[in-house]
Amino acid sequence: MKIALTHLVPDPKNPNACSSDILDKLKRNIERTGFYPALVVRQHPKKANHYLLIDGHHRKLVLEALGYTHAECQVVEVNEKEAKLLLATLNRLHGTDNLQKRAELIESLMDVVPIDELALMIPESKAQIEDLLALLRFDLDQAEKAFRAEIEKELKTLPVAFSFLVEAHEAEFVHQALALFEANDRGQSLVALSQYALIQKEGADNGGPS
């Protein structure tokens, strides 16, 4: 039903605040389309023919700024406890957008509304709109392949740990062999020893001295 704006009383317990930027966008939307969700109200407990707002405090402000005298309202019959619950939920409960679907919706809107004008009407700024549209051009499969290739490249540069055991009486030979190479650490000595052994084997395979 339509109710005079002068008969709609904001609930002083309403905790929801709205920035001036969001109010401006809401105003432009209503101004452009003439559409807005119905305000949710309940009978005022003390004033006859007056109603307490449950949901739509900001829409009322915008409608007044646009020169409206009446607003479409949904009147609900609730007690004080139920009214408080609605006041706490209707103004705060919002689903989370699927970013892909949100981007597709905004892209379709841009067929009829320029991006600069659209940024004045929806919650996203121009930069956020551009980021969402970039999401549509993002090749997830290609990005995954590039990520895996980068991980494999990084793995090749990481140190490799060796763990092996030798008999107690053989340990001294290992220490002496590693000490033959002047390296910064025992790992580098092991690398040098391994390279030396491979060179010796290659020479022996080719008929050279072993």
Average pLDDT over residues 206-210: 64
Residues paired with 43 in a beta bridge: 51
Q: Which pLDDT does position 202 carry in this prediction?
A: 83
79: amino acid identity, one letter: N
Mean pLDDT over each residue of the chain, to the nearest integer: 84
Sign of CA dihedral 91, 96, 97, 99: positive
Q: Which pLDDT does position 30 carry in this prediction?
A: 93
3-state secondary structure the chain: CEEEHHHEECCCCCCCCCCHHHHHHHHHHHHHHCCCCCEEEEECCCCCCCEEEEECHHHHHHHHHCCCCEEEEEECCCCHHHHHHHHHHHCCCCCCCCHHHHHHHHHHHCCCCCHHHHCCCCCCCHHHHHHHHHHHCCCHHHHHHHHHHHHHHHHHHCCCCCCCCCCHHHHHHHHHHHHCCCCCCHHHHHHHHHHHHHHHHHHHHCCCCC
pLDDT tens profile 151-197: 888 878 888 777 778 888 888 888 888 788 776 677 888 888 888 88
Using N-to-C axis directions, what is the helix angle for 171-179 and 186-205, rounded to 10°?
90
The larger pLDDT score, comparing residue 187 to residue 210, is at 187
| The pLDDT of residue 95 is above 60 | no
Residue positions counted in the chain: 210
Q: Which pLDDT does position 150 carry in this prediction?
A: 86
Residue 4: pLDDT band with limits 50, 70, 90? very high
pLDDT tens profile 96-150: 657 887 888 788 888 888 899 888 888 888 999 899 888 887 766 777 788 888 8
| The pLDDT of residue 93 is above 60 | no
Domain ranges of the chain: 2-90, 99-154, 168-205
Instruction: Burial-class residue 49 by CB neighbours within 10 Å (0-12, 13-18, 19+).
Output: exposed
Q: Which of 51-55, 64-68, 118-122, 181-185 has the lowest mean pLDDT?
A: 181-185
**Close Cβ partners of 27 (under 8 Å, ≥ 6 residues apart):** 62, 65, 66
Residue 91: pLDDT band with limits 50, 70, 90? low
CB 88 within 8 A of CB 123: no
pTM score:
0.54
Could you tell me which CATH class the domain 2-90 is placed in? Answer: alpha beta
